[in-house]
Amino acid sequence: MKKIITLLFLALIVQVSFAQEKDEKVKEEDSMQTLFNKDNLKFTGGYLAPEVKVSNVHEDISLIIGGKMGFTFNDHFTIGIAGFGLTNNSNFDINDNPLDPARIGMGYGGLNLEYTFFSNKKIHFTIPVVLGAAGIYVYEDDGDFFSDQFNEIENSAAFVVEPGVNIELNLFKFFRIDLGASYRLIEGTALYSLEDEDLSDLSFNVGFKFGFF
């Protein structure tokens, strides 16, 4: 739990440090002073972004597919939601016993936060963070990926935080492409056959943003 809190704290500090605007004079002495108000917080866009990730899940190269959506303020800070799911088997042997094969099912999602640098430039970069929950399932592996029936062995919920960095390309005014990497940190699983470290790893991603910027 300490690792997930520390990683989240560092990621949010990076975002917030760049999100602060220059202080403006208070027009009325009696008005309440806030970090954000109608004068310095302006809605400037939004997007939907399907995304594909390649990552190790229990030492098995895996494909994770999902997407993000968000609303952007001041051309820099985005807040929204995100969700992703593991699409392949991610097979493994429980306790390294070849007579006890299993497969992993995993999905995660939650709050999507992103800070964009120099968004009007053709090529720029962003710092995204996904913060939320994960659901992990372990099934018996019958060798048939397309089987409609899965015998569940165990399941667990967990916390997830996934900070990253992307290079972003403005192809059109309504379409951008992200190329980058992130680290998926999962903590708090209560599984007999898997540990947090088996599900946490580096991911490489490509995303396609459709919206108005």
Q: What is the pLDDT of residue 25?
A: 44
Give the three-state DSSP class for 195: coil
Instruction: Give which of 194, 124, 200, 198 is closest to 162, Cα–Cα.
Output: 200
Q: What is the pLDDT of residue 97?
A: 80
Cβ pair 102, 128 in contact under 8 A: no
CATH of domain 2-14+43-212: 2.40.160.20
Structure tokens at 102: 């299993």
Q: What is the pLDDT of residue 21?
A: 47
Q: Record the pTM.
A: 0.80
CA torsion sign for 183, 188, 194, 196 is positive
Q: What is the pLDDT of residue 12?
A: 59
CA torsion sign for 35, 113, 182, 161 is positive
Entry field: residues in the chain? 213
Q: What is the pLDDT of residue 46?
A: 95
Amino acid of residue 115: Y
Instruction: Give which of 4, 88, 54, 85 is closest to 202, Cα–Cα.
Output: 54
Among the residues of 20-59, which ranges form H helices? Answer: none
Q: How far is CA 67 from CA 84, 120, 189, in A?
A: 6, 23, 24
**How many Å apart are CA 83 and CA 87, to the nearest integer?**
13
Q: What is the pLDDT of residue 22?
A: 42
Mean pLDDT, each 10-residue run in order, the chain (213 residues):
62 58 46 66 92 94 97 95 93 83 94 95 97 96 64 95 98 96 97 94 97 91
Domain limits, the chain: 2-14+43-212
Structure tokens at 158: 């967990």
